[in-house]
A and B are shown apart, each in its own frame.
Chain A
Amino acid sequence: MRTRILATGIALGVLAAGATLQQRSAIAANGVTVNAHTIHREVIPSFSRQTGLACNQCHTTFPQLTAFGRRFKLNGYTLTRLQMVEAGDTANRSLKINLIPPVSAMVQASMSQTRKAQPGAQNGNVELPQEMSIFLGEEITPRVGTFLQFTYSAADASFGFDNADIRYANQGKLGSKELIYGFSLNNNPTVQDLWNTTSAWGFPWASSEVAPTPAAATLIEGGLAQQVAGLGAYAMWDNHVYGEFSVYRSAPQGGPHPPDASAENTLRGVAPYWRAALQHSWGSQYVELGTYGLSTRLYPAGVTGSTDRYTDVALDAQYERKVGKGSITGHTTWINETEKLEASVAAGAATNPSNTLKTFKIDGSYYNAGRVGLTVSYFTTSGDADALRYAGSATGSPNSNGVVGEVDFLPWLNTRFTLQYVAYGKFDGARKAYDGVRNASDNNTLYLLTWLVF
């Protein structure tokens, strides 16, 4: 089923201020053709409860965002038809909050089976929950919305602050074309991103928490997640050109406050993050091309002395296409990390004063009308060998690659059942005896997941 939604000329935030939802739908009907069942990860029924819209307005299959979902996020999660508590006049609300906050939850139950058990550990690991989250996702002023996630994980056996994205959005004109602009206060570089190519909301949507994973990853792939706070400004012009600039500073959960000699991986100063993207849709197809990156100076230990410098520069692309009553989506990203490891070398944690690390990932999915989907993905990371930095590798090499195959079934929009298999061609530098004994394929992982959001 294809649904026509989304305004081209008038942004949701403006609509939300005055129009009824029916009026909004009518205005939106002259807009872009949007695939009505696609996926994305910040699918949270909080937003469904707030807007009165089913998950598939914003998600192809969660957590992948549709064009409408990207627009909802761009507009600061502000669109509501719940009963509101309001003050001030219609044009200038001094208060607009949901009478009942649209809270939602997520539960994941999973089983992981590696091809060979990890030394001395049981295989066939079951977790209930792998993660259980509570979300506060809602419009809190006419122009500010929140995405706040609190997560309990079985591995941590504790409940903690997870992803946070607090947005302000507004609309204007630039050169007679629509300009949606705003600010994001968030705690995970890329959590504010609109696309599913970047780490916070990229494939795999979920994966085993207990299976071994390669030692090397670029910093922007979650290395600072929930350990920093960032403030950034963004703008989307003419629904085609997107730009964002943010700065991040360490804001760790737990540990010494303020960071002192016992702190680890503390940013020196602020780390700039940038994002630029072009998007275009025609017929039933959509494509995005973009770049993003991060430049940091990190104290591996303490808050004085020399630092390690990481500069990540990345390219990404996303493709969506409607095929009959199903859909095809594809994502890819290439990340180049330059590492200047002055502090690590001084501490005996790295051999080379400078290393590079490159990551390439690509995934493609087909979902049919019955929300049964098949996804295939390839990933590879390669870089300079460094015997101290990659001490778990017999060769000192960070090189890993492999494929992920996944079958998904979403009997309802808010329930996902996944059967996933990760197969490694190379793991921490080698196919055979990568750590001296274990083969890359021993870490191949069968992963079964039940994922409910409500």
Chain B
Amino acid sequence: MWSAALVGGLLSTAVCERAPAQQASHGATLAYFATSGDRDTLLHRPAPVAGTRTGRPNSSGLIGELAFLPWLNTRFALQYVAYARFNGSHDDYDGFGRSASDNNTLYLLAWLVF
């Protein structure tokens, strides 16, 4: 969650810099991520949700985020994480029937700093 939030933070900072005295900032962030590596059926084993059927560590997906900062120290975010691949595959990635897209996540956040 922290890393995902940080992605949004970096891009929205650019929005803020454009108009420092602006009352509110809005931002849209799009991110793509991919992790891939060697197949290892002992290191990466089947297990519900956290495991992998194929022994591959490959995951990829998109994060879309809308952020609203009504004041400089308040952030409201609506984030969606969509996985194309999760722990090696798109369908039945864990060997227990779970699809990568079952882990797609809607995330609402109110973040206040003071």
Which A residues form the contact surface with B (CB < 8 A)?
A: 87-89, 92-98, 101, 136, 138, 140-142, 144, 146, 166, 185
Nearest Cβ in chain A — how far from B86, in angstroms?
18
Residues of B contacting A97 in the complex (Cβ-Cβ under 8 angstroms):
73, 114
Asked if B62 lies at the interface with its beta carbon under 8 angstroms from chain A, I say no
Q: List 27 A-B contacts (CB under 8 A).
A: A87-B20, A87-B21, A89-B21, A92-B23, A93-B23, A93-B71, A94-B20, A94-B23, A94-B24, A94-B72, A97-B73, A97-B114, A98-B114, A136-B114, A140-B73, A140-B74, A140-B112, A140-B114, A141-B70, A141-B71, A141-B73, A142-B71, A144-B71, A144-B74, A144-B112, A166-B112, A185-B110
* Contact flag A94-B71 (CB < 8 Å), given A88-B21, A88-B22: yes
Q: Considering the chains assembled together, what is the distance between the CA atoms of A98 and B73 in angstroms?
A: 12
Q: Is the Cβ of B110 less than 8 Å from the Cβ of A95?
A: no
Which of B20, B21, B23, B114: most chain A CB closer than 10 A?
Answer: B114
Contact of A146 (CB < 8 Å), options: B20, B23, B24, B112: B112
**Which of chain B's residues has its CB closest to A166's CB?**
B112
Residues 73-92 of chain B, each 1 if its beta carbon lies under 8 Å from chain A, else 0:
11000000000000000000
The residue in chain B whose Cβ has the minimal distance to the Cβ of A139 is: B114
Q: How many contacts between A and B, using CB within 8 angstroms? A: 43
Given contacts A101-B114, A146-B112, A185-B110, contact A141 B74 (CB under 8 A): yes
Q: How far is the CB of B18 from chain A (nearest CB, A)?
A: 13
Besides A93-B23, A94-B22, A146-B112, 17 new A-B residue pairs in contact (Cβ under 8 A), listed by A number: A88-B23, A92-B23, A93-B71, A94-B20, A94-B21, A94-B71, A94-B72, A96-B71, A97-B114, A98-B114, A101-B114, A136-B114, A140-B74, A140-B114, A141-B70, A141-B73, A144-B74
Interchain CA distance A142-B73 in the complex, whole Å: 11
Assuming the contacts A92-B23, A94-B22, asked whether A87 and B72 have C-beta atoms less than 8 A apart, the reply is: yes
- Among residues of A, the one whose C-beta sits closest to the C-beta of B72 is A95
Closest 6 CB pairs of A and B: A92-B23, A140-B114, A141-B71, A95-B72, A88-B21, A94-B72
Q: Which residues of A contact B21 (CB under 8 A)?
A: 87-89, 94
Which of under 10, 10 to 19, 20 to 34, or 35 or more describes the interface residues of B? 10 to 19
Q: Looking at chain B's contact residues, is the secondary structure mostly helix, strand, loop, or mixed? A: loop
Residues in B with CB closer than 8 Å to A138 are: 114
List, in ascending order, chain A residues with CB within 8 A of B73's CB.
95, 97, 140-141
Give bound CA distance, A140 to B22, whole Å.
Answer: 17
Residue of B nearest to A96 (CB): B71
Chain B residues with CB under 8 Å of A89's CB are 21
Residue of B nearest to A88 (CB): B21
Complex-state Cα separation, A376 to B113, whole angstroms: 43
State the CA gap A96–B112 with chains docked (Å): 13
Nearest CB of chain A from residue B94's CB, rounded to whole Å: 17
Per the bound structure, the CA–CA distance linking A93 and B72 in Å amounts to 9
With both beta carbons as reference points, the residue of chain A lying nearest to B110 in the complex is identified as A185
> Would you give the shortest CB distance from B108 to chain A, in whole angstroms?
10
Residues of A within 8 A of B71 (CB): 93-96, 141-142, 144
Chain A's nearest CB lies how many Å from the CB of B89? 24
Closest approach, in angstroms, between the C-beta of A87 and any C-beta of chain B? 6
Cα–Cα distance between A248 and B110 once the two chains are bound (Å): 16
Determine the distance from Cα of A141 to Cα of B72 in the docked complex, in whole angstroms.
Answer: 9
Report A-chain residues with C-beta under 8 Å of the C-beta of B74. 140-141, 144
Min CB gap B48→A, angstroms: 12
Bound complex: CA A138 to CA B22 (Å):
23
Complex: chain A residue closest to B23, CB-CB = A92
Instruction: Looking at the assembled complex, report how far the CB atom of B107 sits from the nearest CB atom of chain A, in whole angstroms.
Output: 13
Which residues of chain A are within 8 angstroms of B114 by Cβ–Cβ distance?
97-98, 101, 136, 138, 140, 146
How many whole Å from B22's CB to the nearest CB in chain A? 6
Q: How far is the CA of A146 from the CA of B112 in the complex (A)?
A: 10
Which of B71, B72, B112 lies at the interface centre, i.e. has the most chain A CB atoms within 10 A of its CB?
B71
Closest to A91 in B: B23
Task: State the Cβ distance, B73 to closest chain A Cβ, in Å.
Answer: 6
Closest to B71 in A: A141
Residues of B within 8 A of A94 (CB): 20-24, 71-72
- The contact string, 1 if C-beta is below 8 Å from chain A, for chain B 42-72, is 0000000000000000000000000000111
What residue of chain A has the Cβ atom nearest to residue B69's Cβ? A94
- B-chain residues with CB within 8 Å of residue A185 when the two chains form the complex: 110
Tell me the bound Cα distance from A429 to B71 in angstroms.
55
For A166, what are the chain B residues with a Cβ–Cβ distance below 8 Å?
112
Closest to B24 in A: A94
Q: How far is the CB of B65 from chain A (nearest CB, A)?
A: 20
| C-alpha spacing A36/B97, complex, angstroms | 67
